[in-house]
Amino acid sequence: MTRIAILDLTTHPESLLTGSERVWQSISGWLSPAFPDADMLPFDIAEGAMPLPQAGDFDGLIVSGSEFGVYDNTDWMAPLRRLLLDTRAAGKPLFGICFGHQIMADTFGGRAEKAPVGRVVGARTFQRDPIQSGPIQSGPTQSGPKNFTAHVWHQDQVTGVPPGARVIAHAEYCPVAALDYDFAARSVQYHPEYDAAHLQDLFTRGRDIFLDGETADRATAEIMAADVPRDLDATATAAFFRQALSAKT
């Protein structure tokens, strides 16, 4: 089995989120149907339950979202950057989501920071850029519809593209919505792993705690009105890992 390590970098306060799916579970549930030959290995990092893995512990790495920014001084931030560099040096594939997208760019020579547009929560339309080499979402190919809708929840963005990386998706409010690197790495700013029901549950639980009521209501309405496929990017991401691992052997 292919070993895919999932770094869960989001805290999960039991007093608020008891019974709610963990981030690593959302990622595994999203990707596993398209990647049944992979063994998803969770690493609970933000809660301090587990240490970061070493590059020899996995065949591929997924870096989750987080409520932290690349500028925060957590005890795992610097070791995570070293792990990203070690994973690249080992030639193992990397995939980043939201914070994962940002920390990869910031580590590999680009920049991520708080964006002037501020926090964006809900659903947004993105456009696949014509320079991309393949589909950014499962289903449509480069010759198909260029626009797609995805769930979003972030206040930071990639503001400097790393050397050797190229933008493969963007939105008016988010110029760097997805990146392909000139080594085995890809990342996205949006959240393909979250389904609408899970996000609505989080908005309800977090209302007036980590989201003000107006933002929670607006985000809920956007998500209910959006048509985001549950397998957004899943087939393409599984193919990315398979191709990178095949090229390595």
Distance of alpha carbon 106 from alpha carbon 112, whole angstroms: 6
Task: Quickly list DSSP for 132-194.
Answer: -SS-SSSS--TTS-SEEEEEEEESEEEEEPPTT-EEEEEETTEEEEEEE-SSSEEEESS-TT-
Task: Quickly list DSSP for 181-248.
Answer: -SSSEEEESS-TT--HHHHHHHHHHTBTTTB-HHHHHHHHHHHHH----TTTTHHHHHHHHHHHHHHH
Q: Select which of 101, 151, 193, 222 is catalytic.
A: 193
Residue 174 falls in the annotated catalytic set: no
In terms of DSSP bridges, do strands 185-188 and 156-160 run parallel, antiparallel, or are they unpaired? unpaired
Q: Select which of 98, 101, 154, 222 is catalytic.
A: 98
Residue 21 falls in the annotated catalytic set: no
Q: Are 111 and 157 in contact (CB under 8 A)?
A: no
C-alpha dist (Å) from residue 209 to 17, 47, 98, 164, 205? 12, 19, 21, 40, 8
Q: Select which of 101, 151, 154, 191 is catalytic.
A: 191
* Residue 1 identity: M
Q: Hey, what are 149's tokens?
A: 């809708």
Residue 193 falls in the annotated catalytic set: yes
Catalytic residues: 98, 191, 193
